[in-house]
Structure 1
Amino acid sequence: METKDQKKAYLYGLAAVLIWSTVASAFKIALSYMEPLQLLFYAVAFSTLTLLIILIVQKKIGQIAQMSISNILKCALPGILNPFLYYIVLFKAYSLLPAQEAQPLNYTWAITLSLLSIPLLGQKLSTRELAAIFTSYLGVVVISTHGNLLNIQFSNGFGVFLALLSTVLWALYWIYNTKSKSDPLIELFLHFCLGLPLVTIAMLIFTGPPPIELPAVLSAAYVGLFEMGITFALWLKALKLTEKTARISNLIFLSPFLSLVLIHFILGEEILPSTLIGLLFIVGGNIIQQTGRK
């Protein structure tokens, strides 16, 4: 049993949040060099290698060797959702939308999770959760219409659809994993082991081999290392060290606002007032939902 250390938990948690705040900008930079499937190929390859190294360092790789083939396949199956389908949809959304729109829209996944929990897990929605859903999706409308609520026209309807679809895929991925008792880092590694060949086949069929120029490879490597690999391990470490999960999970609310600052200074996007207002609604909905949980 790992000893609790709240200061270290905050350090690991803040490190994860700070890194996650950079990935929206990293997505757009990498997508300027390559197609979404090519970016996903590089990112999943680098992430799989990173997770393998982490498991070796933590001396967990032997646990996989002790698993039966059926258990390995069972653990690997969610790889169809993540990284394969989820990131294909998410990267395509980022290629169609400004980062300041795609990032907050993707942040509604927790609300989508509540909605899908009704038919899939048999859960019921409270009045508080209904208020959270309404508040968050009002923010979605504000962002995707640039605040023009009287004459609703989406800035890019297909891009908005894909960003919201990514939240469905991500929520389905977490619902699928709710009953799993395996080590989450081992599970994620197995998901990526299955996802990598699927991504490779899709890339070769639809876009061809990825570019090999150094800036393209480095930008994709950053996405793989920090969106999918190292940051997940940091977050898990923070959750293990914290005295109370809520103290760490609430740090995630910093991420979308920090991300907007970086989007402005790194990508040069002018942050629209509608983006800030919409993001406040989305985060507000998430907070309403969180405060209603025991």
Structure 2
Amino acid sequence: MNERRAIGFGLAAVLLWSTVATAFKITLEQLTPLQMLTAASIVSAIALITICAIQGKLRLIVPTFISNPLYYILLGLINPLAYYLILFKAYDLLPAAQAQAINYSWAITLTLMAALFLGQSIRKQDWIACTFSYIGVLVIATEGNLLGLKFESPLGVGLALLSTLLWASYWILNTKNTSDPIVSVLLGFLVAIPIALGLCFYEGLQWSHISMKGWLAVSYVGLFEMGVTFVLWLTALKLTQNTSRISNLIFASPFISLILLATIIGEYIHPSTLVGLVLIVIGLAIQQIKFGKRRKVTTCQKVK
């Protein structure tokens, strides 16, 4: 029974995460990346506070922060502040299909960083996975013109790759965190929100022009990219007796996302994006088959 519930929660998380690339693009029509980060973070914080209240975890928030304030400040600066600001800017500069596919290579970045900072070994299968995935990134970034190495938006590609580095760094720092994961994520938002609001004030950003569609879109991002869906994913991992089975659900997410981008906002999906994404997923599959049970660092990761 628990296994069926775990699969249900996992599928719900994957389906919701599959919609966020479309929501990003809709939101960016009216909000800047900084405004998007700020508004979505506030929505996420409200959602997570509500979940903590329901689960009786509100009493843990202050003691958890006081136990290691510098650590939680650092986590908050990385995620959500720097990570989502850079990710949203990448989506602003690139077609959503490209940004999403490149960002999806973060798990390969995590493998390399785990070897560098946690002393985990890189085996032959890891290098094969890295090769497939980063060739896929090049195919996407150059729209198939590998020899020409001409990028439509070098800055957008660079930011999308930087987002993978930040996300991997966040999970590396989380490997020794024994606190409640929902409370830890909430603390990140509570750290980031005042800074984001301060940056909005400094930049003199205006909010009056945002329509109801824009507010609904950014609220959707806050709930289902940065908030509630994380709880669904954690619940699935907690209920399952087979973590790799749940983790394998993530491979459907980017392809569902491409379908939604094409049908909902009419974005043209370049054939090279699909080819590159297949290469990235092949690389991730190679890595998952070999290391799905071994690498504890990946147990709480989310998809994009």
- TM-score, normalised via structure 2 length: 0.92
Residue 202 of structure 1 corresponds to which residue in structure 2?
199
- For 2:268 and 2:205, how far apart are their aligned partners in 1? 34
Matches within 5 A, 1:1-294: 5-67=2-64, 69-211=66-208, 212-293=210-291, 294=294
Deviations 1:34-55 (A, max 9, x none): 1100011100000000000000
Deviations 1:114-140 (CA, angstroms, capped at 9, x unpaired): 111232112221111011001000000
Maintained 8 Å contact 1:76/1:187: no
Q: Distance in 2 between matches of 1:93 and 1:206?
A: 19
* Distance in 2 of aligned mates of 1:36 and 1:152: 27
Percent sequence identity over aligned pairs: 50
Question: How far apart, CA to CA, are the structure 2 residues paired with 1:108 and 1:207?
Answer: 35
Q: 1:292 to 1:207 in 2, by over 3 A?
A: farther
Q: Give CA deviations for 1:251-293 in whole Å, capped at 9, x if unaligned.
A: 0111000000001001101212111110000011111111111
Distance in 2 separating the partners of 1:65 and 1:101: 40
In 2, distance between residues paired with 1:170 and 1:71?
21
Q: Provide the rounded CA distance (Å) in 1 between the counterparts of 2:183 and 2:129.
A: 33
TM-score w.r.t. the length of structure 1 is: 0.95
| Distance in structure 1 (CA, Å) of the matches to 2:285 and 2:87 | 24
Q: Following the alignment from structure 2 to structure 1, what is the Cα–Cα distance between the partners of residues 93 and 273?
A: 16
Kindly provide the amino acid, as one letter, of the partner of residue 163 in structure 1: A
Contact 1:112/1:167, CA 8 A, preserved across alignment: yes
Unaligned regions of 5+ residues in structure 2, if any?
295-304
Partner deviation per Cα, 1:167-196 (whole Å, 9 max, x = no partner): 000000000111010110010011110011
* Aligned AA (1:216): G
| Change over 3 Å in CA distance of 1:202–1:292 after alignment to 2 | same
Alpha-carbon distance between aligned partners in 2 of 1:68 and 1:158, rounded to the nearest angstrom: 35
Task: Specify the code of the residue in structure 1 equivalent to 2:173.
Answer: Y
CA contact (8 A) 1:136 1:286 kept: yes
Q: 1:118 is aligned with what amino acid?
A: A
Gap runs ≥5 in structure 1: none
1:72 deviation in Å?
4.9
Q: Deviations over 1:65-88 (max 9, x none)?
A: 544724355334300000000001
Offset at 1:28? Answer: 0.4
